[in-house]
Structure 1
Amino acid sequence: MNVNNIYELAESLTEHWSPQVIASVNDQYVKIAKIEGQLVWHTHEQEDEAFFIIKGEMYIEYENHIVNLKEGDFHVVPKGTPHNPVAVTSSCWIMLIESKSTLHTGEVQTKKTKSLQEQLSASEVKR
C-alpha cells in the first residue's frame, strides 16, 4: 500500500499542461498537472471533469460565465459543457479526477494535447 504526498508529486512535474496519472480508482484516474496560461476551448461529451486547486489560482471560462478557483477549491465541469481552463498565477497546480475514457482536450487537438499514453508514461499508476 502506497502513501504519496500530493505536493511532492506536483513539485516534481516539469512540463505545463501535461497531466500525469497518479492513481487509479475504479473507472477513474486521479491526475496532477502544472498549468500556465490557457489550454483551449474543448468539450468532454460523455464525461464530467473534476478540478481541485492544489496551489495557485485559475479560472474556467464557460460560454456565459467564468468560475474563479483558488487554492483548496473544487469544481466539476459537467459533461457536454464547452470550457477553457486558464491559470491566473504562474505554475498553478491542479488535481483532476476523470473517467479513464476522458481525452485531454476532447476532440480538439493542439500542441498542448497529451494522449492517455503520455499521461500514464511518466508515472506508475498507484492503486
Structure 2
Amino acid sequence: MTIDKVNLAHAFASFGDHWNPRVAGDINDFQVKLVKLDGKFDWHHHEREDELFLVVAGRMKMGLRTGDVIVEAGEFIIIPHGVEHCPEALDGECHVLLLEPNTVLNTGNVETDKTRATLERLG
C-alpha cells in the first residue's frame, strides 16, 4: 500500500475547468473531491447523502431556500441530505474541497449539462 500526501495548491493547479469534480482520495465509503467553481451551479438536493464544502480559495455563496450563507476561504459548510442548495462562486473562481459519500452525483436529483456521472482521479 502506498500512502501519498496531497498538496492542494498543486492539485488545483493541475486542472482548469469548472464544475467538474476530481477525486483526490478515498476514505472508507467517502471521497475527497476537488472542484473549481465559477458562477452559479444548479438548484438540487441529495436524497441520502450529506455533503461537506470546504472553501480553500475564493468565496462561495451557498444558496439555501431558508437564506444564503457566505463561506469564506478556510471555512466549511455541511449540507444535510434532502436540503435543496445551490453553490455559487463569488468574485471569480472559487476552489472547494468536497467530502461526501462515493455514491453522490454532483447534481443530485437533477440532470443538467453540469452532471458528471464518472469522475476523473487526480494523480
Q: CA deviation at 1:107?
A: 1.9
Q: Can you list the C-alpha shifts for 1:17-55, whole angstroms capped at 9, x where unaligned?
A: 000000000110000011000110000010100000000
8 Å Cα contact 2:33/2:99 also seen in 1: yes
For structure 2, which runs of at least 5 residues remain unmatched after alignment? none
1:79 correspondence with 2:78: no
For structure 1, which runs of at least 5 residues remain unmatched after alignment? none
User: 2:109 aligned to 93, 102, 107, which one?
Assistant: 107
1-structure distance, mates of 2:33, 2:115 = 15
1-structure distance, mates of 2:34, 2:122 = 11
Greater fraction helix: 1
Output the TM-score relative to the length of structure 1.
0.91
Aligned to 2:122: 123
1-structure distance, mates of 2:91, 2:23 = 23
Aligned residue identity for 1:87: A
Runs of 4+ in structure 1 deviating by more than 2 angstroms, as ranges, are 121-124
Aligned residue identity for 2:43: W
8 Å Cα contact 2:47/2:109 also seen in 1: no
Count of residue pairs brought into register by the alignment: 121
Q: CA deviation at 1:122?
A: 4.4
Output the TM-score relative to the length of structure 2.
0.94
Aligned to 1:60: 62
Aligned residue identity for 1:97: L
1-structure distance, mates of 2:29, 2:91 = 31
Greater fraction strand: 2
Q: CA deviation at 1:114?
A: 1.0
Aligned to 1:26: 28
2-structure distance, mates of 1:15, 1:122 = 14
2-structure distance, mates of 1:102, 1:122 = 15
Q: CA deviation at 1:89?
A: 2.3
Q: CA RMSD in A?
A: 1.0
Identity %: 33
Aligned to 2:9: 7
Structure 2 SS opposite 1:52? strand
Aligned residue identity for 1:83: H
1-structure distance, mates of 2:88, 2:100 = 18
2-structure distance, mates of 1:87, 1:123 = 22
Structure 2 SS opposite 1:56? strand
Aligned residue identity for 1:23: G
